[in-house]
Amino acid sequence: MTTAITLHDAADAPRQAQAQAQTPAPIGAPAARGPLPGVFRTGVLRARAELRVFFRNRTAVAMNMALPVALMLLFGSIFTMKAGDHTVPMHDVVVAGVLASGIMSAAFGVLATGIALEGGDGSLKRLRGTPFATGGYFLAKTVLVVVLALLQSAAVLALAVAVFDFPLPTTADRWATLAWVFLLGTAATALLGIAVGSLITDRRTITAAVQFPFVLLQFVSGVYYSFSGLPDTVQRIGALFPLKWMAQGMRAALLPDDMAALEPAHSWELGRVALVLGAWIVGGLLLCVAARTHRIRKDFR
């Protein structure tokens, strides 16, 4: 008899469980807890939202997408001479520099500005009330800047080909150089953007703290003209920052090998490019840890 009751109860268990699941919990009873969403899931969901919000803001899209293209067309049209004693037109050098500048604009500028704004208006504090992992926030921001940097790079190269008859790389090793310079440059400047954005406490200083150093770096890093044509002191200052090495790496990927003679070392120095950008990645991580990403960690605590 006991066995029969047990078997009957076991057979009826699915129906009982379904009925219990459909019965509303008593008021005041604690909600059932399941595993919280992981970093990857929350990051992907947040990234989709970040991309939708960004591309719905037409002003932001225009400024971030159109500005590098406009600067390339402007400076490429102004400098119509040949680069040094070579047959390469100067606007090809500008294309390589603007490509690097656009990557830094997307990674450094967008991250620093976005983090500072979201920390200042309380968005991060409100986000803390949801089952959201801090790592998911950074993952979403990373996806945003990578997508934006890719779109900017594609737009610059497409218009350079259409307007300046710019020759794209024809070998796999040059495309590989373009790819790793893009990745290392994006990572280095993105970490710098996270650190700077985290340290901004007054929203009124965002423009000065983000745009001023970026604009200054463009003119000391050889973005719009040959780096070797700058005064020695300016060259030393520019060589301390990643944009100079990003631009040099882009020139190595996009320009003929004989153009390396115009570099200060008369070589592309790709090993040093990788080393400096790698050092900036490590330095950016240390800077974020040292600053404890001041704004974000405070709001997520």
What ranges do the domains of the chain cover? Answer: 36-300
Of 174, 169, 192, 208, which Cα lies nearest the Cα of 243?
192
Q: For 30, how many CA atoms within 13 A lie in the half-sphere containing its CB?
A: 3
- Position 3 pLDDT exceeds 70: no
The alpha-helical segments, DSSP class H, found in 110-171 are 110-120, 123-128, 134-164
pLDDT at 22 over 90: no
Q: Once rounded to an integer, what is the mean pLDDT over residues 218-241?
A: 89
pTM of the model: 0.81
For residue 292, the model assigns a pLDDT of 59
Residue 181 is predicted with a pLDDT of: 97
For residue 17, pLDDT over 80 is answered with no
What digits encode the pLDDT tens for the residues 134-168? 778 888 888 999 999 999 999 999 999 999 999 99
pLDDT, position 243:
96
- How far is the C-alpha of 120 from the C-alpha of 114, rounded, in Å? 10
Q: Percent of the chain, pLDDT > 90? A: 39
Judge whether residue 196 has pLDDT over 80.
yes
Cα–Cα distance for residue pair 228/217, rounded to 1 Å? 15
Please state, rounded to an integer, the average pLDDT across all residues of the chain. 81
Which has more pLDDT, 253 or 17?
253
List, for residues 68-123, the tens digit of each pLDDT value. Answer: 888 888 888 887 667 666 678 888 899 999 999 999 999 998 888 888 888 777 77
Rounded to an integer, the average pLDDT of 222-249 is 91
Mean pLDDT to the nearest integer, 285-298: 65
- Does residue 229 carry a pLDDT above 70? yes
Look at residue 34 in the predicted model and tell me its pLDDT: 55
294, burial (CB in 10 Å: exposed 0-12, middle 13-18, buried 19+): middle
From 58, 142, 67, 62, select the one nearest 98 (Cα to Cα): 67
pLDDT greater than 70 at residue 295: no
What pLDDT, on the 0 to 100 scale, is given for residue 28? 47
